Amino acid sequence: GEDVEQSLFLSVREGDSSVINCTYTDSSSTYLYWYKQEPGAGLQLLTYIFSNMDMKQDQRLTVLLNKKDKHLSLRIADTQTGDSAIYFCAEGPGTASKLTFGTGTRLQVTL
C-alpha cells in the first residue's frame, strides 16, 4: 500500500534555513502537500505541489520534488520561533483516491 516516511525530529537555530524531507511510494500521486500542526491544534495546509512540477516557491517556503526518487522536501528560509511545529507531508489522491499522511517531523527552533 501507500507509504509516506519522514524523520521524526529536526532542530535548527533561529535565522537558519530548515529542510524537512519526505519520501513516498505511490507513483500515481497527483499532488503532494505540506501541512503544519501547532500544539493542540488541527493541521493547516501550508503549500502543495503538482506532481509534474519540480519546484514551487511561496514566500519563505520552497518545495522541491524529485519524482524519480519519490522525494519531497520543504525548505523554510530564515526560520523563526513561530515556525516551531509538527510538519506533515501528504500525497494523493493516487490509487487510494484519498490522501496519505506521513508520520510528521517535529521542528524545534532554538535561539
Partner 1 sequence: DGGITQSPKYLFRKEGQNVTLSCEQNLNHDAMYWYRQDPGQGLRLIYYSQIVNDFQKGDIAEGYSVSREKKESFPLTVTSAQKNPTAFYLCASSMEGQISDGYTFGSGTRLTVV
| Residues within the interface to partner 1 (CB under 8 A) | 8, 30-31, 33, 35, 40-45, 48, 50, 88, 90, 93, 98-99, 101-104
**Angle value at C-alpha 6, between 58 and 51, nearest 5 degrees:** 50
- Which residue lies nearer to partner 1 by CB, 45 or 77? 45
CB of 19 to partner 1, least distance (A): 19
d(CA 44, CA 90): 12
CB of 43 to partner 1, least distance (A): 4
Number of Cβ within 10 Å of residue 57's Cβ equals 12
Check if the beta carbon of residue 101 is closer than 8 Å to that of residue 3.
no
Question: Hey, which bits of 2-110 come out as E strands?
Answer: 4-6, 9-13, 18-24, 31-37, 43-50, 55-58, 61-66, 71-76, 85-92, 100-101, 105-110
CB of 33 to partner 1, least distance (A): 5
CB of 38 to partner 1, least distance (A): 10
- Which residue lies nearer to partner 1 by CB, 16 or 54? 54
